C-alpha cells in the first residue's frame, strides 16, 4: 500500500497541479492525504474538491515536521509512505521508478532529484542551473546527500526503526526535517537512493530576499543537524561539507579583496596566460555540467560573472546561518505566495 502525505500551509493555488501529477502516475497510490497546517486560505476546500483525503493539524507549532508526525500517527504503519511538498510535480513514472529501487530490501527510501521549471529572469535561471548541476552530481556519483523533501518514498519499517532509535519519526527540533530523516535512516543502517529518473519540478524563489531566507534556513538546518547528530561514520561527509563551505567563503572573499587591492595599487593589468588557462578550465566545467540544457543557458554559464554574483548571495546566506547558529536562533520558515497554476481537472 502506498499512502501519499502532502503537508500544506496556504497551498490552495499549488495543490491542483500537484494532485494532477499524482493522478498521472503509471502506478497509482492507494491514498492521498493532504495535511493542512494552520492554513488561512482555501487549502482545505481545494483539496476536498480534488477528491483526496484531508486532515487539519491540531495545535501544531513544529512546522512541517509536526504536521507530518500528526499525519503518520493516523496511519496503519504498513507498506510505503510517499511524503511530498504541496508545490511539487512528479514525472509520470516517479512512483514506478521508486518502487523498482525498493525491490532491494536494504533500501529504506527513495528520494527525488529536483529541478526548476521554466525560469522567470536571472535569479531563477541561476537556481535552475544550480539544481541541474546537483542532479548531474547525483547521477555521476550515486550518492544521496538528502532524501529530498520535494518527494520521498519511504518504507514504514524504516520509519519505525527511526522512531524506535530516536523517539520520533520526523524531528521537530530542526527546520530541515528532510535532511534529519536522511541522517536518521542512514544511522539505522538503511540504504537510500535518488535515481535521476525520479524527477520533480518544484518552485524557485522569485526574489533575492526569498532566496536568501530559503538558503539561510537550509544552511542553518544543516548546521543544526550535524551538530545534533555528532561526529559519526554517517555524519563525517556532512561535517566535511560544512568545512568546505567555510573554506569556499574565505577563499572567494580573499580573492575579491586581493584583486581589488591589486587594481587599486597597480591599476588594471593584462591577465597572465596561466590564469587565463585556469579560467578556461572553469568555464568548460560550468558549461559541461549543464550541457543538456538549451544553448542560451550554456552561453549564460560561460559568462561566469552572473553565476559568481549569485554565489555571493548564497555565501551571504551561509554566513547569516552561521551567525544564527552562534546566537542560538532556531530559524524560521517563510512561505512563498505563487500565482495560480493551470492544471487539468483532476476531480473524481
Reading the block at residue 134, the C-alpha cell is 546537483
Asked if 245 contacts 251 with a C-beta cutoff of 8 angstroms, the reply is: no
Among 2, 300, 336, smallest CA distance to 125 is for 300
Reported pTM = 0.88
> Per residue in 270-296, pLDDT tens?
777 876 787 788 899 999 999 999 999
Query: What is the Cβ-side half-sphere exposure of residue 39, based on CA atoms within 13 angstroms?
Result: 26
Residue 204, by phi and psi: left (phi above 0), alpha (psi -120 to 50) or beta?
beta
Burial of 37 (0-12, 13-18, 19+ CB in 10 A): buried
Q: Is the per-residue pLDDT at 334 higher than 70?
A: no
What are the structural domains of the chain? 2-204 (3.90.550.10), 205-335 (no CATH)
CA–CA gap between residue 177 and residue 222 (Å, rounded): 10
Using the predicted structure, report yes or no on whether residue 268 has a pLDDT greater than 80: no
Cβ contacts of 112 within 8 Å, gap of 6 or more: 84, 88, 90, 94, 148, 150, 151, 152, 194, 198, 199, 200
pLDDT of residue 348: 28
Q: Is the per-residue pLDDT at 61 higher than 60? A: yes
E strands of the chain, at which residues? Answer: 2-8, 31-36, 53-56, 80-84, 88-90, 107-111, 113-116, 151-155, 191-193, 199-202
Average of per-residue pLDDT across 81-104: 97
Q: Which residue did the predictor score with more confidence, 11 or 282? A: 11
Mean pLDDT over 326-344 rounds to 60
Longest dimension (CA), the chain: 72
Q: Phi-psi region for residue 192, left (φ > 0), alpha (ψ -120 to 50) or beta? A: beta
State the Cα–Cα distance between residues 175 and 223, nearest whole angstrom: 10
* Sole residue written with cell 539561510: 216
DSSP helix, strand, coil percent of the chain (3-state; round to 5): 50, 15, 35
pLDDT of residue 344: 36
Q: How far apart are CA 122 and CA 119, in angstroms?
A: 8
First to last CA, the chain: 20
Give yes or no for residue 163 having a pLDDT over 50. Answer: yes
Name the more confident of 264 and 102.
Answer: 102
pLDDT of residue 272: 72
What is the C-alpha separation between 113 and 101, in angstroms, rounded? 14
What percentage of the chain has pLDDT greater than the value 90?
Answer: 81
Amino acid at each position: 500500500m502506498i499512502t501519499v502525505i502532502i503537508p500544506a500551509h496556504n497551498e490552495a493555488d499549488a495543490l491542483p497541479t500537484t494532485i494532477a501529477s499524482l493522478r498521472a502516475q503509471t502506478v497509482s497510490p492507494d491514498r492521498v492525504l493532504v495535511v493542512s497546517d494552520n492554513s488561512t486560505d482555501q487549502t482545505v476546500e481545494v483539496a476536498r474538491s480534488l477528491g483526496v483525503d484531508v486532515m487539519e493539524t491540531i495545535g501544531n507549532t513544529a512546522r512541517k515536521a509536526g504536521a507530518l508526525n500528526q499525519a503518520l500517527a493516523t496511519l496503519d504503519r504498513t507498506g510505503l509512505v510517499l511524503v511530498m511538498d504541496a508545490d511539487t510535480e512528479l514525472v509520470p513514472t516517479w512512483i514506478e521508478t521508486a518502487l523498482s529501487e525498493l525491490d532491494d530490501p536494504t533500501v529504506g527510501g527513495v528520494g527525488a532529484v529536483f529541478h526548476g521549471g521554466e525560469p522567470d529572469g536571472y535569479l531563477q535561471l541561476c537556481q535552475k542551473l544550480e539544481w541541474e548541476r546537483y542532479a548531474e552530481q547525483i547521477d555521476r556519483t550515486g550518492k544521496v546527500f538528502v532524501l529530498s523533501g520535494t518527494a520521498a518514498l519511504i518504507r514504514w519499517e524504516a520509519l519505525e526503526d527511526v522512531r524506535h532509535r530516536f523517539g520520533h519519526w520526523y524531528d521537530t527540533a530542526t527546520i530541515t526535517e528532510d535532511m534529519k530523516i536522511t541522517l536518521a535512516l542512514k544511522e539505522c543502517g538503511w540504504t537510500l537512493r535518488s535515481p535521476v529518473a525520479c524527477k520533480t519540478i518544484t518552485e524557485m524563489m522569485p526574489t533575492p530576499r526569498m532566496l536568501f531566507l530559503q538558503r539561510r534556513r537550509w544552511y542553518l538546518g544543516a548546521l543544526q543537524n550535524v551538530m545534533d547528530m555528532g561526529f559519526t561514520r554517517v555524519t563525517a561527509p556532512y561535517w566535511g561539507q560544512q568545512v568546505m563551505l567555510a573554506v569556499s567563503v574565505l577563499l572567494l572573499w580573499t580573492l575579491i579583496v586581493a584583486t581589488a587591492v591589486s587594481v587599486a595599487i597597480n591599476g588594471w593589468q593584462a591577465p597572465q596566460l596561466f590564469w587565463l588557462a585556469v579560467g578556461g578550465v572553469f568555464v568548460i566545467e560550468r558549461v559541461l555540467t549543464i550541457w543538456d540544457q538549451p544553448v542560451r543557458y550554456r552561453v549564460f554559464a560561460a559568462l561566469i560573472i552572473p553565476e559568481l554574483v549569485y554565489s555571493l548571495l548564497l555565501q551571504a546566506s551561509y554566513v547569516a546561518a552561521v551567525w544564527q547558529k552562534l546566537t542560538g536562533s532556531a530559524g524560521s520558515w517563510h512561505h512563498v505566495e505563487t500565482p495560480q497554476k493551470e492544471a487539468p481537472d483532476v476531480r473524481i
